[in-house]
Amino acid sequence: METRNIIVIGASAGGFEAIKQLVAALPADLNAAIFIVWHMSPDVMGILPQVINRQKRIWATNALDNEPIINNHIYVAPPDKHLLVDNGSIRVTRGPKENRFRPAVDPLFRSAAYSYGPRVIGIVLSGALDDGTAGLWTIKSRGGIAIVQEPADAEVPSMPESALAAVAVDYRVPIAEMAPLLVRLTAETVTTVTSARDVAMEEQKKTATEMRIAAQDPALEQGVFALGELTPYACPECHGVLSAITDGEIIRYRCHTGHAYSADTLLTTITANVEDTLWSAIRGVEESMMLLNNLGDHYAEKNQPKLAAMFFQKAKEAEGRAEMVRQAVFNHEHLTTTSIRKQAEEEGGA
C-alpha cells in the first residue's frame, strides 16, 4: 500500500522562521520527501538548506534539475527557479513567473498533485497575498491532504487566510502542532485512490498544460488560450491579454506568454501600477510647466510681453492640473481582496 510520502510546503513573508521551526520538530527518519518553495529575491543566495542542515535533522539541498526523488530528504527551490516534481524526478526551471514570483508555490503544488494524487500533503505557511491557494485546491481535488498554518500563529496571515477561504482545508494548526500531525499522516496508507481516471479529463489536461508552461515550454504552443476565457485585462509584466481560469470557485489569470496571477495578485499589481502611472503623469505635466515658464522668460527677454504672458498662463494651468493628479495619488488606495473583505466585515459589523 502507498503512503502519503510527498510533502510540499509553500511560504513567503514570515515563512523562514516557520519553516525552521517545523523542520526542527520533525523526526530525523521521517519516511517522506519534502519540497519547499519560499519566496525570495532572485539575487539572494539559496541559504535555506544551510540553515535547515544546522539543525541536524533531515538533510536539505537546493534542488537540481532532473535529479531523482528520494525519501527522507528536503528539496528547496533555488532562487529564481520554479521547483516541480514529475513522477520520480525533479524539474528546476525558469518558466514564467506566477503571482510575480519565481519560485512560486502554485507550480510545485500543481505538479505534485498531478504526479502523486492522494500521496501528497500540501502545506501553506505564513505569507502575504495568496500564492499557494490555487495549488492547494488542486492537491485537495486529487485526494491529497490540505494543511494551513493557523493564521493567528502566522507572522503574516494572508496566505493561510486565503487558503482557508477558498479550499476545504483538512487541518489548520499552529507550527508547534504540525510536525506530530505530519508524522501521523505520513504513516497512514492511502485508502482513497484518486487517480487520473477519477479526475475530469479537462482538469487533468489543464494541469498538464500549466506544468509544461512552468517547465519552460512555450505557453502559446501549449494551447494557453484553451485554459479559460479571454478578458479585457493586460498582463502587468508583458502586457499580453489575460485569460480567466477557474479552479472550483477560485478565479485566476494567465497570459499567452505564460505569466500567471491569482485574482488578489492581479488586483494588487494593477492598483500599484495605477500609482506609478499617476506619478508619471505628474512628472510629464510638471515638465511641461517648467518648459512653459522657461519659454515665457525667453519671450519676456525678447520684449514680447503678450506672448510671454500667455506662456506663463499655460504654465499656471499646468500647475493646477499637476496638483489635481497629485491629490489623486494621495487618495489612491492599494487594494487586495483581503483588505476589501476586511472592510466589508467591518462595515457589516457596524
Verify that 124 and 164 share a domain, yes or no. Answer: yes
Q: How many residues does the chain have?
A: 350
Q: For 278-316, what is each residue's pLDDT tens digit?
A: 999 999 999 999 999 999 999 999 999 999 999 999 999
- Reference 332, options 270, 244, 255, 287; nearest CA is 270
- Mode of pairing for the β-strands spanning 171-173 and 145-149: parallel
- Mode of pairing for the β-strands spanning 6-11 and 33-38: parallel
* In a domain? residue 33: yes
- List beta partners, residue 86: 89
Q: For 174-230, what is each residue's pLDDT tens digit?
A: 999 999 999 999 999 987 545 545 678 889 999 999 999 999 999 999 999 999 999
* In a domain? residue 15: yes
**Residues that are catalytic:** 12, 39, 131
Q: For 29-66, what is each residue's pLDDT tens digit?
A: 999 999 999 998 887 778 999 999 999 999 999 999 99
Give DSSP secondary structure letters for 168-209: --SEEE-HHHHHHHHHHHHHSB--S---GGGS-HHHHHHHHH
Instruction: Give the count of domains, the chain.
Output: 3
Q: Cell numbers for 327, please give them.
A: 491629490
Verify that 129 and 225 share a domain, yes or no. Answer: no
CB count within 10 Å of CB 162 equals 30
Verify that 172 and 111 share a domain, yes or no. Answer: yes
* In a domain? residue 194: no
Q: Which of 187, 204, 232 is the last residue of a domain?
A: 187
* In a domain? residue 193: no
Verify that 107 and 42 share a domain, yes or no. Answer: yes
CATH code, domain carrying 117: 3.40.50.180
Q: Which of 200, 233, 258 is the last residue of a domain?
A: 258
Model confidence band, residue 349 (pLDDT cutoffs 50, 70, 90): low
Q: For 250-267, what is each residue's pLDDT tens digit?
A: 999 999 999 999 999 999
Verify that 302 and 174 share a domain, yes or no. Answer: no
Verify that 162 and 225 share a domain, yes or no. Answer: no
Verify that 93 and 181 share a domain, yes or no. Answer: yes
Verify that 328 and 276 share a domain, yes or no. Answer: yes
* In a domain? residue 290: yes
Residue 101 is classified by DSSP as: B
Distance of CA 337 to the CA centre of its chain: 14
Verify that 282 and 340 share a domain, yes or no. Answer: yes
Verify that 161 and 34 share a domain, yes or no. Answer: yes
* In a domain? residue 20: yes
Q: Which of 148, 171, 187 is the last residue of a domain?
A: 187
pTM as predicted? 0.89
- Reference 136, options 296, 262, 313; nearest CA is 262
Distance CA 178, CA 122 (A): 12
Q: What percent of the chain has pLDDT over 70?
A: 97
Helix ranges restricted to H, 199-304 = 201-214, 263-301
* In a domain? residue 212: no
- What is the domain range of residue 139? 6-187
Verify that 128 and 227 share a domain, yes or no. Answer: no
Q: In what order do the strands lie in the sheet with 145-149?
A: 60-62, 73-76, 33-38, 6-11, 120-124, 145-149, 171-173
Quote the pLDDT of residue 192.
56
Verify that 241 and 273 share a domain, yes or no. Answer: no
* In a domain? residue 223: yes
Does residue 111 contact residue 82 with C-beta atoms inside 8 Å? no
Q: What percent of the chain has pLDDT over 90?
A: 87
